[in-house]
Amino acid sequence: MPDFLIKNAESILTMDDDRRVLGAADIRVQDGVIVEIGHDLPRSEVGPDAAPETVLNAAGAVVTPGLVNTHHHLFQNLTRAVPGGQDALLFGWLQTLYPIWTRMGPEHMQVSTQLGLAELALSGCALTSDHLYLFPNGARLDDTIHAAADVGLRFQPTRGAMSIGESAGGLPPDRLVEREADILNDMIRVVDAFHDPQEGSMCRVGLAPCSPFSVSRGLMRDTAVLARDKGVMLHTHLAENDEDVAYSLSQFGCRPGQYAEDLGWTGDDVWHAHCVKLDGQEIDLFARTRTGVAHCPCSNCRLGSGIAPVRQMRDAGVKVGLGVDGSASNDMANLWDEARQALLLQRVHNGADAMSAYEALELATRGGADVLGRPECGRIAVGKRADIAIWDVSGLASSGSWDPAALVLAGPRQVRDLIVEGRRVVADGQVTTLDMAQLIARHRSLTGALARGD
């Protein structure tokens, strides 16, 4: 693993505990860890047999922590902009796509994971979760984990599940659901095989039954017990739109927050996706229990789900990070777009002073890291992991900006360099770990076959 000295950054947005912004500063990285931050740092002395420190010139660039994505469905980038689902609400959108997803298999999971992670990397993302909740035709969570290892992003896959099909009153078709005993057994298998709880881990596995309308209360309760026994995190969708809340009221006689609390789905080891329709009592519950939220503003807009009460959540002390959600409901996976959309939505709903560019960046960095239980990530500080994004602000996108550090307002949407655990995953705007032309060609081929019904 090479050591780095990042020199001459125009600005470093540390997102450390003091939220410092440093001008004309340098960062030293050794063995995947930030070891020094300062001005005019010299190159390290090295012995005759040691590799020299790699110097990255960050003149004309702003440096941030690597961004953090708290919610994704990577498999969905094979079904972007599908006719019939483009203008539907959540339930109708799902019912359009479920039949297509039943034709997927292991290669679809592997290829979509690599392409989706490359897309995230180019947007400056260093750490991402993924929620895979269907396993047709022999697909397994393993397919995504092996694919992610090749890309080099820090990965937190979750073993999702659906157990209640249409015949039992659920939303998904019966051929996409699994027996609950099989689900729990496979959850144990993947945690035992792949979960690394150590600081700086490149793979942590979570458990993630899909949603209240696709699994039983029993599976939700049993999964919570299993996760605590194994020491892993819990994730699901909650209160995504009015249909979701209505389903909870009609089927369970309570709002989504009460549903979660009753089944053991609150706490520092839990994060819920969307939470667009949380009310004041539910926000207080999440703040009191340290339950996290993955805010997905672009997907929420695309599906017409509403504006999540992020300002109220943040003011109450709820942990909030950003998520791109799947590319079937967002169409792309760019964390900068999410940060900007989060800012704009809170302003249009609560006023122009409701969220600053720096707070939006905080959601995209340390906020997401805290939601995922990774305090060693999402900030630039001595002793933290070397997940670092370098943004070229010398070009058209930032020209004329009086505050180059306000990247969310005026800045590039593609990273120049991305370092993850001290490894340069993106260099000069190009992914270094994959043959992108070959990957895109295979991805297009698989997409074409799905569209033809092959």
CATH code of 57's domain: 2.30.40.10
Residue 274 sits in the same domain as residue 296: yes
- Return the pLDDT at 47: 52
Return d(Cα 389, Cα 132) in angstroms, integer.
27
Instruction: Say if residue 80 is exposed, middle or buried (CB neighbours under 10 Å; 0-12, 13-18, 19+).
Output: middle
Residue 49 has a pLDDT of 57
Domain boundary among 324, 350, 371: 371
Residues 59 and 96 reside in one and the same domain: no
Give the domain extent around 146: 67-371
| Same domain flag for 53 and 88 | no
Q: From CA 366, how far away is CA 69, in angstroms rounded?
A: 11
Q: Can you spell out the DSSP letters for 382-448?
A: TTSB--EEEEE-SSGGGTT-S-TT-TTTSS-SS-SEEEETTEEEEETTEESSS-HHHHHHHHHHHHH
Q: Does residue 42 sit within a domain? A: yes
pLDDT tens by residue, the chain, 454 residues: 679 999 999 999 999 999 999 999 999 999 999 999 999 999 887 655 556 789 999 999 999 999 999 999 999 999 999 998 889 888 899 999 999 999 999 999 999 999 999 999 999 999 999 999 999 999 999 999 999 999 999 999 999 999 999 999 888 999 999 999 999 999 999 999 999 999 999 999 999 999 988 999 999 999 999 999 999 999 999 999 999 999 999 999 999 999 999 999 999 999 999 999 999 999 999 999 999 999 999 999 999 999 999 999 999 999 999 999 999 999 999 999 999 999 999 999 999 999 999 999 999 999 999 999 999 999 999 999 999 999 999 999 999 999 988 999 999 999 999 999 999 999 999 999 999 999 999 999 999 999 999 8
Same domain, 97 and 115: yes
Do 270 and 407 fall into the same domain? Answer: no
CATH of the domain at 91: 3.20.20.140
Residues 296 and 389 in one domain: no
233 belongs to a structural domain: yes
Question: Residue 454: its pLDDT value, please?
Answer: 80
Instruction: Indicate whether 249 belongs to any domain.
Output: yes
Do both 19 and 108 map to the same domain?
no
Residue 199, domain member (yes or no): yes
User: Which pTM does this prediction carry?
Assistant: 0.97
- Tokens at 357, concatenated: 């560019």
Residue 1: predicted pLDDT: 67
Separation CA 227–CA 206 (nearest Å): 8
Asked if the structure places residue 205 within a domain, the reply is yes
Identify residue 154 by its one-letter amino acid code. R
Q: How far apart, in whole angstroms, are the C-alpha atoms of residue 112 and residue 115?
A: 5
Integer Cα distance of 165 and 98 in angstroms = 11
Asked whether residue 86 falls in the same domain as residue 192, the answer is yes
Q: What residues form DSSP beta bridges with 128?
A: 69, 155
Q: Are residues 311 and 360 in the same domain?
A: yes
Side-chain-side CA neighbours of 364 within 13 Å: the count stands at 33
276 and 340 share one domain: yes
Question: What local confidence, expressed as pLDDT, does residue 312 receive?
Answer: 98
- Domain boundary, last residue among 371, 391, 415: 371
One domain, residues 151 and 177:
yes
Amino acid residing at 111: V
pLDDT of residue 74: 98
452 part of a folded domain:
no
Domain end among 320, 350, 371 = 371
Whether 364 maps to a domain, the answer reads yes
Same domain, 155 and 285: yes
**What's the full length of the chain, in residues?**
454
Q: How many domains does the chain have?
A: 2
* C-alpha atoms less than 13 angstroms from C-alpha of 338 in its C-beta half-sphere: 39
Minimal CA–CA distance to 362: which of 385, 348, 378?
A: 378
Please report whether residue 439 resides in a domain: no
With vertex at residue 38, the alpha carbon angle to CA 33 and CA 42, rounded to the nearest 5 degrees, is: 85
pLDDT of 188 reads 98
Are the CB atoms for 352 and 345 separated by under 8 Å?
no
Cα–Cα distance between 200 and 23 in angstroms, integer?
28
CA distance 37 to 325: 34
**pLDDT of res. 2:** 77
